[in-house]
Structure 1
């Protein structure tokens, strides 16, 4: 009997080592569910321990706010944004399927292709940014060491970094978990050493002298942190908790996801604010080459360890992105095996990194435009999904996540409409002054009396918060009855078996192949 006949991949789907994971969009079979909630600490900490987190200190001060304002909105924004990831990770434990499969319960089996495409764009964009940063950091450090840091170095660095990321994405879950544990230990130790070495570059008197900003600028900084941290991960948050046993503690899933994700960014952000606030020149340089600028204040002997910690930290985040982007591509309707989808995204990631490294002249402008523009529809999706999770009292009917004739339906127009409405309202309330091609945004700031695109509220980027609330409140107010009706229907899944295993042959094939 083949694996497909059983309705799931064979044991190679979850074997340790370097065997390619064959699990795709299918629910994880009971025999493959393992681990404890605290195991989630490793991938999430490793994905967010990058010294790139220090750069957010400069980005926040760029909103014209003080040290204390930046610290408060930064810490609160990080924790809240990753708490959203924790709630979505809970859905992974309940349904044992990827995030963008579980989202079908909200949007319908076919209607969910819209948020799947958005998720794919966001994760491919993030992995591209992280890859490019790793290459730029390597070239800058090599230059400071007096070695060749030109085109040849960038090409070699790109090949090495891309190979590590693509290998992790293609081989899959077990290799990623092993990589993230190693990355966590190495980067954690070296990051502490970095912080100790740059303590002398912090000048508290200069930091304390930074004037406070008004409400629009504070809110703008808060929204930027939301989109730069947790909202950049919500669409992948269940992809790693799906392997946990059903009896894993829900509070542990939420808690370890939030704690593992938030711990390093909170520490790095505070030190980043202190560094950027101590030197205007450093803060300006971070906008051009964030990690390279951070290397410029180090002693020569630590530059090689620094480039190791910088590259590994960025790879840790990009590996999770490429794994989840492959799953999102499958959920959008591309019919290829999971590892092929990850390979496709790896090629796109490499091409995008080539553009950022060799063509683009600015980093912070395109980066901020990318975060805010995609952050709006993702926030609307996140609000709708979290509202749905909070209203459900039973586990998902796994089999019907793959059947458009089942309880979740083909297309659910309410949540899709909420994403569209949230996006239209959201884009009208955000601005991207660094990216000319996004100049059309902010079209509601004038009509709503918020000062137009040049007023103070233009920097607040209220559209992300509005989109999040539209998605959440829309489901809470208007979707409650539908969810209750879904849960009252009898399930066709036999107790103790995977939903995919009980599905018809066509559904089983689509689950494994990624359709």
Structure 2
């Protein structure tokens, strides 16, 4: 079983006999997942929407470090529990109550699958000469196959992408610096707090959006793996990869203007050259997007199974069921990609910031419970039993989650809604800070009053052969 390429585990706990790898695998996976075109576009948005290059880079760095630290705290849960991230959320929200944030998580995965497919589809369309639409469909099918194979191939893909994409970004960086005057680009030091906080929010939302599935990719590590090592390797790979890509995006957007806006993929490839070089760069763009889209598809199917199995009392999933869930994510994401490919930039920025509203409260509740309330002690079998110690619905956590969403609305800035407290703050969006701090404090105050459901140690189920 431990040597099988095709993964057979899904929502069930990974037994010690099947654990493998080292914490360094998290570095290569998250480096490869972030050295890609959508991260470039995310960095470019900080300039496209009015920020200067210098302070945009600084703001993106702040957001990547802060959001990446929160994301990496989730990653450290994987080796300890051997569970997908959202299954563990049942300890906070109840076996059935966890479906509330799960519904939004699934929307997130479909959205990221779609946005990634738009850009990767352009690259595949150019490589195959079949056009964007066919490129999107081909890319989606390859993504689904890789996600169906599962954990081992995902990490192998991350290792390859981390090397290939790093080399490509070094080359593109040299080409870009040959074309621009870096000193002139960074010479404008005027500081705008709203634009700075927009840059922070863009990169923080990028990192926090990984939170609901980051432990899915560390859960096969041996239980003895250091939590600190898992944290630092995850943070290092994710923050380095995203900051590298986003800084490139800032410099491109600050110097290319409308040429970049008219076609993000084609501009980046043209920067690198023509002929075989261009073909290689189209391949690199598709490879980078394949890595992250496989993560989104895999995480999406895990979340769907977690939500549905909470009502069905299901603890394992058959290979046929696994394939069906993955196909559903692929079809939904591809449909959204085909419908939204012509309004990508504005839609993607709003999508990122809107998602952040829903995931910061979940992240705050999950981390406070794991590190401060339960202190890493869970009853794994009870996470599948609505009549067990965690119950079907934990209304205190759900209420805190709802409050965490509502308190952000006055501070939120998107294309379709701006909160009433944004103008007094000079247009700055600080909703994600409020969304982390308020529910974290509220949940800590409520949850510490009754800890009778917390076991003295983590209770593992007896080993079972996967279906």
Please give the TM-score of this superposition, normalised by the length of structure 1: 0.83
Q: 1:406 to 1:224 in 2, by over 3 A?
A: same
Q: Which residue of the partner structure matches residue 299 of structure 1?
A: 273
Q: Is the 8 A contact 2:23 2:233 kept in 1?
A: yes
Q: Is the 8 A contact 2:13 2:83 kept in 1?
A: yes
Q: Which residue of the partner structure matches residue 213 of structure 2?
A: 236
CA distance in 2, matches of 1:421, 1:164: 40
Q: How far has the Cα of 1:209 moved from its partner?
A: 4.3
> Does 1:411 find its partner at 2:389?
no
CA distance in 1, matches of 2:186, 2:83: 48
Q: Which residue of the partner structure matches residue 311 of structure 1?
A: 286
> Does 1:451 find its partner at 2:423?
yes
> For 1:163-312, what aligned pairs fall within 5 Å after superposition?
163-210=141-188, 212-227=190-205, 229-282=206-259, 285-286=260-261, 288-301=262-275, 302-312=277-287
Q: How far has the Cα of 1:488 moved from its partner?
A: 4.8
CA distance in 2, matches of 1:339, 1:138: 24
Q: 1:490 to 1:62 in 2, by over 3 A?
A: closer
CA distance in 1, matches of 2:370, 2:363: 10
Q: Which residue of the partner structure matches residue 71 of structure 1?
A: 57
CA distance in 1, matches of 2:111, 2:243: 23
Q: How far has the Cα of 1:280 moved from its partner?
A: 2.9
Three-state SS of the structure 2 residue aligned to 1:235 is coil
Q: Which residue of the partner structure matches residue 499 of structure 1?
A: 461
Stretch moving more, 392-401 or 253-262: 392-401
Stretch moving more, 305-314 or 270-279: 270-279
Q: 1:394 to 1:186 in 2, by over 3 A?
A: closer
CA distance in 2, matches of 1:54, 1:202: 17
> Does 1:377 find its partner at 2:397?
no
Among 486, 489, 508, the alignment partner of 2:453 is: 486
Q: Is the 8 A contact 2:106 2:300 kept in 1?
A: yes
Q: Which residue of the partner structure matches residue 467 of structure 1?
A: 435
Among 432, 439, 446, the alignment partner of 2:414 is: 432
Among 305, 311, 316, the alignment partner of 1:330 is: 305
Among 370, 385, 388, the alignment partner of 1:389 is: 370
CA distance in 1, matches of 2:409, 2:307: 23
Three-state SS of the structure 2 residue aligned to 1:238 is helix
Q: Which residue of the partner structure matches residue 336 of structure 2?
A: 352
1:149-203 Cα shifts (integer Å, max 9, x gaps): xxx3224422331122101111211221222222222222222222222221222
Q: 1:195 to 1:430 in 2, by over 3 A?
A: same
Stretch moving more, 63-72 or 129-138: 63-72
Q: Is the 8 A contact 1:162 1:346 kept in 2?
A: yes
Please give the TM-score of this superposition, normalised by the length of structure 2: 0.91
Q: 1:270 to 1:451 in 2, by over 3 A?
A: closer
CA RMSD of aligned residues (A): 2.4
1:194-243 Cα shifts (integer Å, max 9, x gaps): 2222221222244134352422221122112111x211211111101111
- In structure 2, the gaps of 5 or more residues are none
Q: Is the 8 A contact 2:80 2:223 kept in 1?
A: yes
Q: Is the 8 A contact 2:124 2:136 kept in 1?
A: no
- In structure 1, the gaps of 5 or more residues are 1-10, 434-438, 503-507
Q: Is the 8 A contact 2:113 2:334 kept in 1?
A: no
Three-state SS of the structure 2 residue aligned to 1:362 is helix
Q: How far has the Cα of 1:489 moved from its partner?
A: 5.7
Among 4, 8, 11, the alignment partner of 1:25 is: 11
Larger radius of gyration: 1
Q: Is the 8 A contact 2:122 2:131 kept in 1?
A: no
Q: 1:490 to 1:217 in 2, by over 3 A?
A: closer
Three-state SS of the structure 1 residue aligned to 2:50 is coil
CA distance in 2, matches of 1:412, 1:232: 23
1:121-163 Cα shifts (integer Å, max 9, x gaps): 1111111111111012344x56xxxx95xxx322442233112
CA distance in 2, matches of 1:173, 1:124: 19
Q: How far has the Cα of 1:87 moved from its partner?
A: 0.5
CA distance in 2, matches of 1:96, 1:63: 42
